[in-house]
């Protein structure tokens, strides 16, 4: 009899409850070994969504063009280009497209029959890389048996052909064709992408971050790397007042206060009424919404938005000043600007140079104590903070960001992070002093995540919670933040100074080395990733496609895939975003042109025009080459131990499959 520790015997006994016989163990080993040799599932990487929900949802539905490509491959000799385009649109928007098709089609039963056959064929091929069990689990339960039969029927048999045709005929005659087309279309979307990576910045600028998160919460397999624009919303939900007023200011800046009011049920009337009373003078043009040309609101509504933004900005600057004074370890004293203003002259001295302010109107600032909130501001802060903390939907969304999110993630030998690993001008990891310890590289990022979690999950009022809330704000704009990655955030300068040299935000030296393969390899090694296999995948800094800049850096070791999904960036980048696909055949980067609208996509069958570039081709990867494969191999080893224990009598089989 082999020697087993008590812990091993205890574990094997637990495992035997699931696999009570030698036969059941052998069957599971055979099954897992077969799965290991299936092709690796496709990973889909998206970054910097910035609330652009229509563009994002379309990219999600078409899998960055993968579904259209597969349709063209399968049906190029049997369907016209127009028919293939219509089929693709049907798969992306099955319910809406069917409504239009039924209005314009004379023989709808014939359309149903042809379309069901085509969808089943496409679904069978798209799902061929998965086990039958995995595909079955992805099918809605009410259609599971029939769709499974259709997908796996052997059409080489005459009898099976009759059986197959009979199923299709009955689906149509019973009036269930629409439901089946919708179910199969959704199944194709799901099978086209095995796992989704969101590389940060779901929030800010665009109108629907809450819509995006609602959709992500339904997604079958996902991880998220927090961006700095996500962090301020996470901090706001935790009750960080500085984060809250950053959120309000940015929503007002992009005319998106509806996100707060309608999306999250947060009452912001307190600050809009306060702003209109306290800021009587017309606001600076820099406080008017960025997308004023697109606004249909009246001049009065625009002024409300501008004054709300102005009031939120001043409260924000005061609250930030208080944090900076309380935390000298943040080394952000150079952002204490309100006490540097000469309120009589309307000037400020920065780096030894005096600048004239665009406006010297600060009705709520006491020049003798500029960081002190007025009584009315205190009341506004108290009420709005309570509303943020009591927003059930915001709390639910932020808990989702914590449950699926991290500062960084290592997945299939790739390092995913929104921003950077902070570095010095000499290409060394910056050493950050944390409570007497020097942290850098991976160790520093691990600490960052720990404190970010404490700021939300530790008990209200605890030392860890209070520090964590301030640290969440620091991650938004601090000089050594791995998700801000700049020396300072020039909020004040952009509002109050016309000299653009004062606006410059210097990027972390990480970006000086973005094309240095040795630095990327150094980072991968610090995160225990083989640099011969691994890549770094980031977002955060828009890649200027129109000037010839490439998202592929460091000889293919680093990818920066922020290409401007946000409309406010598209004039700079020249495109509407990059996405990355990692299939069993290798890495493919996709550059997207701007998305028009969901309505146009459904009615006119306009898809995103995307330029596809194969970055790295590999010998076809199998599941055994992935993280999931490593998990399965451990399971096989455990099952082999159980099998040996059955055979040598250490553990007895459970007769008649009756568990203990």
Q: Is the pLDDT of residue 217 over 60?
A: yes
Please name the residues in contact with 452: beta carbons below 8 A apart, sequence gap of 6 or more. 226, 231, 234, 407, 468, 471, 472, 475
Range of the domain at 169: 60-192
Q: What is the pLDDT of residue 598?
A: 86
Q: Distance between CA atoms of 643 and 660, rounded to whole angstroms?
A: 18
Q: Are residues 95 and 188 in the same domain?
A: yes
Q: Are residues 27 and 72 in the same domain?
A: no
Q: Are residues 19 and 158 in the same domain?
A: no
Q: What is the pLDDT of residue 547?
A: 81
Of 457, 474, 492, the position where a domain reaches its end is 492
Q: Distance between CA atoms of 357 and 495, rounded to whole angstroms?
A: 9
The label of the residue with tokens 């993280």 reads: 627
Q: What is the pLDDT of residue 569?
A: 67
Residue 345 lies in a domain: yes
Of 192, 219, 248, the position where a domain reaches its end is 192
530 within 8 A of 509, measured Cβ to Cβ: no
Q: Are residues 76 and 15 in the same domain?
A: no
Chain mean position to CA 176: 35
Number of structural domains found in the chain: 3
The label of the residue with tokens 């369907």 reads: 79
- Considering only CA atoms, which of 465, 455, 493 is closest in space to residue 317? 493
Which tens digits make up the pLDDT trace of 115-172? 999 999 999 999 999 999 999 999 999 989 999 988 887 655 666 678 888 989 999 9
For residue 417, the surrounding DSSP H or E stretch is strand 414-417
Q: Are residues 77 and 26 in the same domain?
A: no
Q: Are residues 30 and 74 in the same domain?
A: no
Query: What three-state secondary structure class fits 255?
Result: coil
472 within 8 A of 492, measured Cβ to Cβ: no
Q: What is the pLDDT of residue 660?
A: 38
Residue 595 lies in a domain: no
Q: Is the pLDDT of residue 359 over 80?
A: yes
Q: Are residues 395 and 321 in the same domain?
A: yes
Which tens digits make up the pLDDT trace of 605-624? 877 667 778 888 888 999 99
Kindly report which listed range (375-389, 481-495, 558-572, 581-595) carries the lowest average pLDDT score: 558-572
Residue 582 lies in a domain: no
Q: Distance between CA atoms of 299 and 311, rounded to whole angstroms?
A: 18
Residue 617 lies in a domain: no
Q: Are residues 152 and 250 in the same domain?
A: no
Residue 344 lies in a domain: yes
- In this prediction, residue 659 has a pLDDT band, given cuts at 50, 70 and 90, of very low
Q: What is the pLDDT of residue 577?
A: 77
Q: Are residues 148 and 251 in the same domain?
A: no
356-363: average pLDDT: 95
Q: Are residues 98 and 149 in the same domain?
A: yes
Whole-number mean pLDDT of the chain? Answer: 92
Output the CA angle 258-264-267, nearest 5 degrees.
Answer: 70
Residue 53 lies in a domain: no
Which tens digits make up the pLDDT trace of 380-422? 999 999 999 999 999 999 999 999 999 999 999 999 999 999 9
Residue 578 lies in a domain: no
Q: Are residues 284 and 398 in the same domain?
A: yes
List C-alpha distances in Å: 599 to 39, 514, 531, 605, 609: 36, 39, 45, 9, 16
Instruction: Report the first-to-last Cα separation within the chain, whole angstroms.
Output: 23
Q: Are residues 167 and 308 in the same domain?
A: no
Give start and end residues of each alpha helix (H) in 128-268: 132-138, 144-152, 158-173, 177-192, 209-216, 228-238, 241-253, 257-258
Predicted model pTM: 0.94
Residue 567 lies in a domain: no
């Amino acid at each position: 009899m082999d020697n087993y520790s008590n812990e091993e015997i205890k574990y094997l006994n637990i495992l035997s409850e699931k696999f009570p016989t030698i036969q059941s163990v052998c069957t599971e080993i055979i099954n897992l070994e077969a799965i290991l040799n299936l092709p690796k599932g496709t990973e889909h990487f998206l970054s910097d969504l910035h609330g652009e929900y229509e563009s994002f949802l379309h990219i999600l539905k078409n899998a960055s063009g993968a579904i259209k490509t597969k349709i063209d491959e399968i049906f190029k000799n049997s369907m016209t280009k127009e028919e293939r385009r219509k089929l693709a649109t049907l798969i992306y928007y099955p319910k809406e497209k069917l409504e239009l098709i039924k209005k314009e089609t004379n023989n709808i039963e014939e359309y149903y029959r042809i379309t069901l056959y085509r969808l089943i064929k496409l679904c069978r091929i798209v799902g061929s890389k998965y086990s039958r069990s995995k595909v079955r689990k992805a099918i809605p339960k009410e259609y599971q048996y029939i769709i499974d039969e259709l997908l796996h029927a052997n059409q080489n048999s005459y009898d099976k052909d009759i059986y197959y045709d009979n199923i299709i005929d009955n689906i149509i005659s019973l009036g269930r064709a629409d439901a089946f087309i919708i179910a199969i279309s959704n199944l194709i979307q799901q099978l086209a992408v095995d796992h989704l990576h969101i590389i940060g910045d779901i929030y800010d600028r665009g109108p629907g971050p809450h819509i995006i998160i609602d959709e992500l919460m339904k997604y079958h397999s996902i991880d998220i790397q927090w961006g700095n624009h996500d962090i301020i919303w996470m901090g706001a939900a935790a009750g960080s007042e500085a984060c809250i007023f950053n959120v309000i200011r940015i929503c007002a800046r992009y005319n998106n206060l509806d996100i707060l009011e309608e999306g999250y049920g947060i009452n912001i009337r307190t600050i809009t009424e306060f702003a209109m009373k306290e800021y009587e003078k017309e606001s600076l043009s820099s406080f008017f919404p960025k997308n004023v040309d697109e606004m249909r609101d009246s001049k009065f509504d625009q002024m409300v938005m501008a004054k709300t933004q102005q009031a939120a900005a001043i409260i924000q600057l005061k609250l930030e000043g208080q944090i900076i004074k309380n935390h000298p370890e943040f080394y952000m004293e150079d952002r204490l600007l309100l006490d540097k203003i000469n309120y009589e002259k309307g000037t400020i001295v920065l780096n030894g140079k005096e600048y004239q302010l665009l406006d010297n109107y600060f009705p709520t600032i006491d020049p003798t104590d500029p960081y002190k909130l007025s009584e009315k501001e205190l009341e506004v802060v108290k009420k709005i903070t309570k509303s943020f903390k009591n927003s059930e939907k915001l709390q639910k969304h932020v808990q989702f960001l914590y449950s699926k999110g991290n500062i960084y993630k290592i997945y299939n030998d790739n390092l995913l992070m929104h921003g950077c690993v902070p570095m010095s001008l000499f290409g060394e990891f910056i050493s950050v002093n944390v409570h007497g310890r020097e942290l850098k590289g991976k160790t520093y990022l691990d600490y960052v995540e720990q404190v970010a979690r404490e700021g939300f999950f530790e008990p209200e009022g605890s030392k860890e919670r209070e520090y964590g809330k301030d640290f969440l704000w620091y991650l938004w704009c601090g000089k050594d933040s791995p998700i801000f990655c700049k020396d300072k955030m020039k909020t004040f300068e952009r509002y109050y100074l016309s000299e653009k040299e004062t606006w410059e935000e210097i990027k972390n030296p990480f970006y000086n080395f973005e094309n240095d393969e040795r630095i990327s390899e150094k980072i991968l090694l610090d995160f225990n990733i083989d640099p011969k296999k691994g890549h770094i995948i980031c977002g955060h800094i828009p890649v200027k496609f129109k000037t010839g800049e490439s998202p592929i850096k460091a000889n293919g070791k680093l990818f920066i895939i922020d290409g401007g999904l946000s409309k406010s960036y598209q004039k700079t980048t020249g495109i509407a975003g990059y996405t990355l696909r990692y299939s069993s055949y290798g890495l493919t980067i996709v550059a997207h042109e701007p998305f028009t609208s969901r309505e146009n996509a459904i009615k006119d069958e306009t898809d995103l025009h995307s330029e596809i570039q194969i970055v790295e081709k590999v010998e076809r990867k199998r599941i055994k080459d992935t993280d999931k494969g490593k998990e399965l191999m451990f399971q096989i080893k455990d099952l082999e131990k159980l099998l040996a224990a059955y055979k040598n009598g250490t553990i007895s089989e459970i007769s008649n499959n009756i568990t203990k």
